[in-house]
Structure 1
Amino acid sequence: TSILHFTFWVFITLQDRNLVACEESAKSLFNISFNLLQNITKLSLKNNKITLEDHDKEILGCFINLTELHLNENNITVLNNNSFYNLKNLITLDISNNCISTVHKAAFAGLNQLSVLNLSYNMIAQLDSDTFTSLESLTVLNLQHNFLKYFHIKSSFKLIKIVLAGNPWICSCDLLDLQIWLTASNVTLENESNTTCTLPNMEQISIKMAAIQPANCKIENTPLKNTVTSTPAVNLRSSALTLPLVGKSWTFLAGVVGFVLGTTLLILTAVKCPAWYHYLISYRHRRLEENDSEMFEQEFSADMSPSTSISGTSSEEPIVVFKKVHACGDEEDGFIEDKYIDIYVNEER
């Protein structure tokens, strides 16, 4: 009886202090169980196989008193909008060591009391600048060991500590607003010595100390830059990469226009100047001049003259005379005889 009274007293004490914990770790769970107490304040689901689908989100919405949630070491790949919408009392959220590659803009909507957010050791390559704007109480943000190359952040964003180490940061103009925010605000960049750039000759330089000149980044605000880099498939985030791309596109366009104009000019020339076209096709033909024709007639007549040939022959040589032999005989004129016509002509006579 004393043991039962002691257990009951402990339960009542936990209820009064809002420390109702539930441990569901390392149980190979694919989904969050619906049989859990809905008044729990701390839920640990780490080291399972949870993917946080719609079914899991509906069950999480029932734990309205939850203040601490651990979903690390699971199989979560996407954080959809309103994934934790009903957890208005949540203070600590740990989603580290998953396979998260996509974080939607309103994934953390409704977490007005959230203070600590751990997204480390995932596969996040891009984050929208408004992803954390609704988290008014956020003080600690852990983004280390992801695939982030840049991170646009607003100056009004308030934090006490941020962890950004282990990301392939590119210290270009796209990182300027983050650098200015790290310098101007009172935030602590944890593990700053390992939060370095990945560009050549800058591997040992902290992103907070990298030499990014604001004067060289004014081109980032031009419409041309926005047009080129607005397509996610291109994903060129630095002005150094954008400007050569624009130049090559204009060169290619000029080459295409020149080729089209040249081809059109050749076609028009061939159509409008047929004499020139035929001259190119039959360039070996030339017109026979008048003096050439006269010379040809004289040579021909001289060769055909009988006097030269007869006088040049001796009297002893026999003279061969060719006689034309008609195939139809001497009296035939080469026409086919039609007896019907002859009879008709004789009758008329």
Structure 2
Amino acid sequence: SKDQSNNYTFVACEESAKNLFNISLNLFQNVTKLSLKKIKITLEDHDKEILGCFINLTELYLNENNITVLNNNSFYNLKNLITLDISNNCISTVHKAAFSGLKQLSVLNLSYNMIAQLDSDTFTSLESLRVLNLQYNFLKHFHIKSPFKLTKIALAGNPWICSCDLLDLQLRLTASNVTLENESNTTCTFPNREKISIKMAAIQPADCITENTPLENPVTSTPAVNLRNLPLVGKSWTFLAGVLGFVLGTTLLILTAVKCPAWYHYLISYRHRRLEENDSEMFEQEFSADMSPSPSTSGTSSEEPIVIFEKVHACRDEEDGFIEDKYIDIYVNEER
């Protein structure tokens, strides 16, 4: 179908066309609006080559087709495109540079697909983007890197998780003037809890490590980042104070040991020395006198071995600390 003018500004090839090869490229060089619905487009290389011929397109509708992947530069030649609708497909993968070159794009519809993850740079090249529709996908979190100038965003129908991964998006939504479409159905879920509005979820910035930049004013994120870092600073001071106390205590203990060596002299006040050869008989006599039996036991044989103990209080620096008992050597020789 076409409009009433002869310029063929709007063309719809829906359902009747089997694929893009059935479209006469020469006929539609001046087309600015093109609708290609239910014609089994996959947006592989051959489809991209044909679509690239419509260089004057400002609106492109590819909804309800068989697109599963948006590869890099999928719309590389459509530099005038303002509206792009790729809803109701089976898209599960969106490459980082899928929308590269679409600097005029203002409306992007990716709803009713199977997208579970989006790179934070996916929409960086879309400088003019104002309306973004991501409803009814499989998104659990969404990080926005660039400061968008969005006026409307649709996020309902995704299984959002109320965690730190969602804090970046939450802060952007609350700190900007963007309109959250279908807000009542845009909810996230805490573990073992009921669903709650994505903007009302109590996610504590102090517990999360992420960069928070609002949609329109990146400067407003500075206080949130600083507040989040304050607890970490307090903990570091506590740790530093503990280390300093340990070092001071150890130093004080060492100085006390050096300045007060009395305990050291007390420990070494008792030492052994080597028995002198001429001392054997003297200690033997003294020990015999002290250990002499009562009169009733005076007849004890003199051949019994005599044990000598010595308590030495003096400390000789030249001694090596070993005890050489000459009595033991003499006794062994007699036995032999």
TM-score by length of 2: 0.59
Q: Give 1:102's aligned residue.
A: 93
Taking structure 1 as reference, are residues 77 and 32 closer, same or farther at Cα in structure 2, changes over 3 Å only?
A: farther
Q: Superposition RMSD on alpha carbons, in Å? A: 1.9
Q: Give 2:127's aligned residue.
A: 136
Q: Give 2:74's aligned residue.
A: 83
Residue 13 of structure 2 is aligned to residue 24 of structure 1: yes
The gaps in structure 1 that reach 5 residues or longer are 1-9, 222-349
The higher radius of gyration belongs to 1
Q: Secondary structure at the match of 2:49?
A: helix
From 118, 122, 130, give the equivalent of 1:127. Answer: 118
Query: How many angstroms apart in 2 are the aligned matches of 1:76 and 1:206?
Result: 31
Larger relative helix fraction: 1
Q: 1:35-56, CA deviations, whole angstroms, 9 ceiling, x for partnerless residues?
A: 1412101111012211111011
From 33, 37, 49, give the equivalent of 1:46. Answer: 37
Q: Secondary structure at the match of 2:108?
A: strand
Deviation at residue 31 of structure 1 after TM alignment? 3.6
Query: How many angstroms apart in 2 are the aligned matches of 1:181 and 1:27?
Result: 44
Query: How many angstroms apart in 2 are the aligned matches of 1:32 and 1:154?
Result: 38
- Note if contact 2:163-2:190 (Cα within 8 Å) is conserved in structure 1: no
Deviation at residue 27 of structure 1 after TM alignment? 2.1
Alignment of 1:317-328 (within 5 A): none
From 139, 142, 157, give the equivalent of 1:151. Answer: 142
Q: Paired residues, what number? A: 207
Taking structure 1 as reference, are residues 32 and 207 closer, same or farther at Cα in structure 2, changes over 3 Å only?
A: farther
Q: 1:267-307, CA deviations, whole angstroms, 9 ceiling, x for partnerless residues?
A: xxxxxxxxxxxxxxxxxxxxxxxxxxxxxxxxxxxxxxxxx
Q: Secondary structure at the match of 1:152?
A: coil
Deviation at residue 34 of structure 1 after TM alignment? 4.5
Q: Give 1:193's aligned residue.
A: 184
Alignment of 1:253-272 (within 5 A): none
Q: Which amino acid aligns with 2:5?
A: F
Alignment of 1:264-343 (within 5 A): none
Query: How many angstroms apart in 2 are the aligned matches of 1:76 and 1:148?
Result: 18
Taking structure 1 as reference, are residues 47 and 194 closer, same or farther at Cα in structure 2, changes over 3 Å only?
A: same
Taking structure 1 as reference, are residues 141 and 112 closer, same or farther at Cα in structure 2, changes over 3 Å only?
A: same
Q: Which has the higher contact order (CA 8 A, sep 6+)?
A: 2
Q: 1:187-207, CA deviations, whole angstroms, 9 ceiling, x for partnerless residues?
A: 111011111113345433111
Query: How many angstroms apart in 2 are the aligned matches of 1:173 and 1:199?
Result: 11
Taking structure 1 as reference, are residues 202 and 114 closer, same or farther at Cα in structure 2, changes over 3 Å only?
A: farther
Residue 167 of structure 2 is aligned to residue 173 of structure 1: no
Q: Secondary structure at the match of 1:158?
A: coil
Q: Which amino acid aligns with 2:16?
A: K
Q: 1:111-148, CA deviations, whole angstroms, 9 ceiling, x for partnerless residues?
A: 11111000000000000011111101110000000000
